[in-house]
């Protein structure tokens, strides 16, 4: 008799988890990826749609720096062996809030920029522009290459006490699924 009540309850729980997972997967993703060739280099412009929970926002407003990392891989397909990895790059952003000056800061490498709000700071992470990932000498003209990119909250770089909370809370698991893209580099136009 008790087993009859558990089956519908189990079905409802599984259906709820699947629907929540589908909503989460749709709300955190890359919208566009555009490889651009300029001055003999390959650059990546990309737009991500990521959702940051209130728990993450509150932690950042209390001075906990948030680290976001974009992972990029570009491969050349080979029928006779494993795919050849041409580019395997990472780019990290540090979002921090200074409680005394009430100012947000976004750091990328050696560059640090001040911002007024958390959303303004996060827009640097969401809208990747001019990411130099390699020389065009790595790529053969008119050959198709496969790439993939993802964006994630890097919890391994959080302060140790916060890392324990992040490990136990799903609010800290911000990650886009891998976004696949294809491109080719055209032969440069010869000027007479």
Distance, CA of 113 to CA of 80 (rounded, Å): 47
Q: What is the pLDDT of residue 83?
A: 86
Using alpha carbons, select from 180, 86, 92 the residue that is nearest to residue 133: 86
Q: Write the pLDDT tens digit of every residue in 112-140.
A: 999 999 999 999 999 999 999 999 999 99
Count of alpha carbons within 13 angstroms of residue 69, beta-carbon side: 12
Spatial contact of 172 and 64, defined as CB atoms under 8 Å apart:
no
Strand partners, 114: 105
- The mean pLDDT of 136-150, rounded to a whole number, is 93
- DSSP 8-class letter at 186: P
pLDDT: which is higher, 10 or 111: 111
Rounded Cα gap, residues 72 and 148, in angstroms: 6
């Amino acid at each position: 008799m008790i087993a009859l009540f558990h089956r519908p309850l189990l079905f409802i729980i599984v259906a709820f988890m699947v629907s929540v997972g589908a909503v989460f997967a749709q709300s955190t993703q890359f919208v566009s990826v555009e490889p651009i060739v300029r001055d003999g280099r390959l650059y990546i412009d990309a737009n991500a749609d990521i959702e940051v929970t209130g728990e993450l926002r509150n932690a950042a407003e209390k001075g906990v720096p948030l680290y976001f990392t974009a992972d990029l891989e570009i491969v050349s397909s080979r029928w006779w062996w494993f795919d050849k990895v041409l580019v395997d790059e990472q780019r990290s952003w540090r979002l921090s809030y200074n409680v005394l000056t009430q100012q947000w800061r976004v750091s990328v490498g050696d560059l640090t920029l001040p911002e007024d709000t958390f959303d303004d700071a996060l827009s640097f992470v969401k809208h990747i522009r001019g990411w130099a990932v390699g020389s065009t000498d790595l790529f053969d003209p008119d050959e198709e290459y496969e790439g993939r990119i993802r964006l994630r909250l890097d919890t391994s770089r959080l302060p140790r006490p916060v890392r324990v909370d992040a490990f136990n809370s799903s609010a800290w698991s911000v990650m886009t699924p891998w976004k696949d893209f294809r491109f080719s580099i055209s032969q440069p136009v010869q000027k007479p």
